[in-house]
Amino acid sequence: MTKDELIDKIKKLLALSDSSNPHEAAAALARAQKLMEKYNIESKEINADNGIDEIKLKTLSSISTQLIMSKLLNIIRKAFGVEPILHTNNSRVTNISLIGPADILESCEYIFTVLSRQAAFAIGEYTKMMDGEIYLETARNASFMCELQTKTPSFYNTVYGSQLTNLSCIMNEISMNNDAVFRNRTYKILGEKFKNLRNLGYLHVSVGFERGLKRIFTSIAKEKKQGFIQGYFNSISEKICEYAQPFEIQENIDKYISDNHPDLSEVRRHSVYNTFAAYQAYQKGVSEGNKVSLNSAIKDYAPKMDAIGMK
């Protein structure tokens, strides 16, 4: 059997995998995959006639959460009409696949690289400031301060009591100073101070209180980071006009995914924000995302897609 005959046979088996009989469909798909593996036939050879292909790219470890990757890939899907797939290991996204017309995948790879590097930097910088924000936000939360003072006075005195006057002055300085460099530097310095004082404070409370306090601060940090990420990517996405693939191409993409990735599962969705602190973080994410411009990148690297536009 020649290679062309083998490819033709695999195509017929994949066609049978769409059968309404589930047993027949599963058997046909298994036989097709076994032949492809045995004779080292790649997916692009099977799909050469409809122009659909797939590229697999590594993610940056610092932004390999499902939330970040799903948000980032939704932008690429919106701009290019390709379909992304997340490959995970222990809930982290190790690789991603982009599936679509072969002639635009190189452009998609470039945009993925650009967005990944910019996102890694923006999220990394915000994470460095986050503890400083939490310090100020919790210090001006009267009910939280009252509860700490009542239940864990030693922790309150170590972390907040002697610092409240100074923190109040810093809040005023930040609110009156629009210099981003000054604000960011101040938050970073405060964050380091907050971490050190918290560690000292934990030495003076019971194990139970220590765990409870750590849960509170971890929860606030998680919500704020998620809020920033949502705001960052949403603001970028809003700049892009959605590109819809012609029906026939979309049908070919769907069939490619059905044939080559039959066991896909859905990614869990994340809420935007649940607290005022997370809402503020969301707005900061929007502000950082507004600085990202993909206009020239899309024009330079996707010349064949005339329908792509920027708002």
pLDDT surpassing 50 at residue 107: yes
Stated length of the chain: 311
pLDDT surpassing 80 at residue 82: yes
How far is 260 from 62, CA to CA, in rounded Å? 29
Q: What stretches of 140-272 show up as alpha helix (H) in DSSP? A: 142-151, 153-159, 164-176, 180-202, 207-237, 247-260
Q: Across the strands, what pairs with 5?
A: none
Question: What residues contact 18, with CB distance under 8 A and at least 6 apart?
Answer: 25, 258
How far is 296 from 309, CA to CA, in rounded Å? 11
Mean pLDDT to the nearest integer, 51-72: 93
Q: Across the strands, what pairs with 86?
A: 96
CB 112 within 8 A of CB 57: yes
How far is 170 from 192, CA to CA, in rounded Å? 15
CB 124 within 8 A of CB 68: no
Question: What residues contact 31, with CB distance under 8 A and at least 6 apart?
Answer: 13
How far is 155 from 149, CA to CA, in rounded Å? 8
CB 84 within 8 A of CB 76: yes
Which phi-psi region, left, alpha or beta, contains residue 91 (left: φ > 0; alpha: ψ -120 to 50)? left
pLDDT surpassing 90 at residue 33: no
Give the model confidence (pLDDT) of 111-147 as tens digits.
999 999 999 999 999 999 999 999 999 999 999 999 9
Give the model confidence (pLDDT) of 202-223 as tens digits.
999 999 999 999 999 999 999 9
32-46, 83-97, 236-250, 271-285: lowest mean pLDDT where? 271-285
pLDDT-based confidence at residue 272 (cuts at 50, 70, 90): very low
Q: Which of 102, 67, 10 is nearest to 271 (CA)?
A: 67
Give the model confidence (pLDDT) of 11-26 as tens digits.
788 777 766 777 787 8
Tokens representing 138 are 């919790």
How far is 230 from 274, CA to CA, in rounded Å? 12
How far is 194 from 174, CA to CA, in rounded Å? 17
69-73, 239-243, 296-300: lowest mean pLDDT where? 296-300
Percent of the chain with pLDDT over 90: 50
| Whole-number pLDDT of residue 1 | 74
Tokens representing 229 are 């990420």
Give the model confidence (pLDDT) of 230-263 as tens digits.
999 999 998 887 777 788 788 888 888 887 887 7
Cα atoms found within 13 Å of the Cα of residue 25, Cβ hemisphere only: 9
CB 292 within 8 A of CB 237: no
In the sheet where 83-89 sits, what is the strand order? 52-58, 92-101, 83-89
| Whole-number pLDDT of residue 296 | 52
pLDDT surpassing 70 at residue 30: yes
Residue type, 294: L
